[in-house]
Structures are given as C-alpha cells and as structure tokens.
Amino acid sequence: MVNSIRGLSSRWSEVSKTVFSISLITMLFALSFLANAQTNKIPKIGMLQSASAATSTSNTDAFRRGLRELGYTEGKNILLEYRYAEGKSARLSELATELVQLKVDVIVAAGTQSTTAAKRATSTIPIVVGAAGDLVRTGLVASLARPGGNITGSTVISPDVSGKRVELLKEVLPKASRVAVLLYAGSGTDRDEVQQTEAAARSLKVKIQIVEVRNPSDFQAAYAAMKRETADALILIQSSFTGFHRKQLAELGIKSNMPTMCESARWTEDGCAISYGPDLPYQYQRAAVYVDKILKGAKPAELPVEQPTKFELMINLKTAKQIGLTIPQWVLVKADRVIK
C-alpha cells in the first residue's frame, strides 16, 4: 500500500513537471509572439494641416518624398493619417484630438496654429513642426537648441528675411514710398514679422500701412484702403488663414494693379508677383528626418529646432505684365524661378 502511494506520488510529480514545462513553453511563446508583434508594428504618422489638401500638396508631397528617401513606403512600413482644417482654424483642436485617439506615433503639424492645437491635445506624443513661426516666443519650445518638451522641427523665422523683402521691392520699385502690409488679425505670431518689416522700411525711408483682415469678406475693403492711401506695393504676411485664401488675395492684387510681395513660391504660382522666403517643401522634406529619428528612439526634447537654410526668389512675369510692372534685369538674374 505504501509502495503504491509512493508510485502515485512519483507519477504525479512527473505529470506536474510536464504540465509546468508546457505552461512555461506556452508562456514564453506568447511573450515572444507579443514582442515580435510589437517589433513589427507599422508606425502611424498623423499629419495636421490648417489648409486644404489641394493647397498643401507641395508640402505633403515633399514630406512623403523625404520618407521614401529614408526607406519608408506609405501603406507598407509606415501609415499616414491626414487631417485638413480647410482654412478653419477652429477645427484644428478637434482634428488634433482625432489623431491622438488614433494613437499615432508622431504628429507632423503645419504652422503655428496646428502645432498649438496638437500641443493642447497631447503632451506625450512627439510633434514635428513642418514649418512655423516663432516657436520660442509662442512658448511651444523652450529654446531652439533644446526644445525641452514633445515638440521639435523647423521654424520659418530667419534674421533679416523680412527686411530682404522690403529691399527687393525697392529694387523693383525704386520710387516706392509707401508699402501696405496685409495680415490676419487673429494671428498673434505675425507681429514680430510686421515689426521687422517696419524696421527695414524705416531704414529705406518707406512708410508702412498695416491692413488687417479676419474674414474673406474683408478683402475688398482692405484693397480699397490700400488704394485710398496710395500704397505703391503690398506685402502679404503668410499665415494659415491667408495661405488658404492666397489665390483670392493674389487675384485681388492683379485687379487692383498692386505689385505683391509674398513669402513662398506657392503664392507666386497662384498669382503673386514676387515671393522671397524659405523653401517650404524642403523644410517638410526635413520633417521626415525628424520623424525617422523619433521612430528610432530619439526624444523631441533633445532634437534642436532647425532654422531655414534654403531661400527662394520667384517672379511671376505673367502677373507683372498684367499689372504693368517692369522687373529689372538684375532682379530677374537673381531669381531662382521665373513664371512666364
């Protein structure tokens, strides 16, 4: 009887060891499967744009091109979620929240307003700025060298670029004594650029007329005010709002025979006479580099914010002809692109 009990005990011990071994193997297999699943997870990138898909094409295409150059193929080893506010800044918070709920790995934000909305929606998901205004002054980053939070990327702020636009206008219009500056009244981040423009204008003995708009219904009255004050030219300050309506603003400039100076090439493509500013598509291409670094473990807080290094002067001769503006040959020679 005792021997039988000992035999049963021995067999039970062997069964227990076998069951334990199987359980251990099963657990290790499950852990390995989960680890592989996490390793093979396709990263998801959210793109938050304040404008429309159509007006953002050049920048989004440049970003995708940057990803391809780094070995990413959309739909294969990276996923992109696009959200466009269609020029309605009030929608940005809602769209940013949607991206957070989708649990994207990184948010790529276009402009200061999009970046602000993304920051309000999350303090943990990394945010890469495609191009925006003064990130330090707006409190979005602690400094350019060490952003310090979950935001990094590129700024369009560069010393003397606003002054350069005034100088170019004076080269084209040597007798110009009054220049209008149109900006969106709801954007507090444009004030620094206006101040830089005013400082440059003073040194060139040019008076500045500030014209603010809040809605497209303000545009006609704004141009009428410029003509009434006999402005010789117009500088259009780029923002999410004016960028969305840039074609309408450029067309009104043509109808008013008003020489227009804009900030980026896409404005000139839509009818602005002259543009000088950072190469925005290149900055969005650089945004892909930031995304790649973050996906590989880098922290946004430690990735310095880049300032523009590539600038582009573009002239629309078709528009110039329509408004009777003669572009001096020495200015044409300096242009990176000319639309005929």
Closest by CA position to 131, among listed 104, 119, 150, 113: 113
Residue listed under structure tokens 């200061």: 112
| pTM, 2 dp | 0.79
Burial of residue 21 (CB within 10 Å: 0-12, 13-18, 19+) is: exposed
Say yes or no to pLDDT of 6 above 60. Answer: no
Q: Spell 214-224 as b/e; 16+ CB within 10 A means b.
A: eeeebbeebbe
Residues 6+ apart with CB under 8 A from 153: 108, 109, 115, 127, 128, 129, 130, 131, 132, 287, 290, 305, 306
Q: Would you state the structure tokens that stand for residue 36, as one six-digit string? A: 């592989």
Q: What digits encode the pLDDT tens for the residues 181-213?
A: 999 987 766 777 888 899 999 999 999 999 999
The rounded distance, in Å, linking the Cα atoms of 63 and 101 is 23
The rounded distance, in Å, linking the Cα atoms of 120 and 98 is 12
Strand boundaries in 176-259, DSSP class E: 178-184, 207-213, 233-236
**Which domains does the chain carry?**
44-157+280-302 (3.40.50.2300), 161-278+311-339 (3.40.50.2300)
Q: What digits encode the pLDDT tens for the residues 220-262?
A: 999 999 999 999 999 999 887 898 899 999 999 999 999 999 9
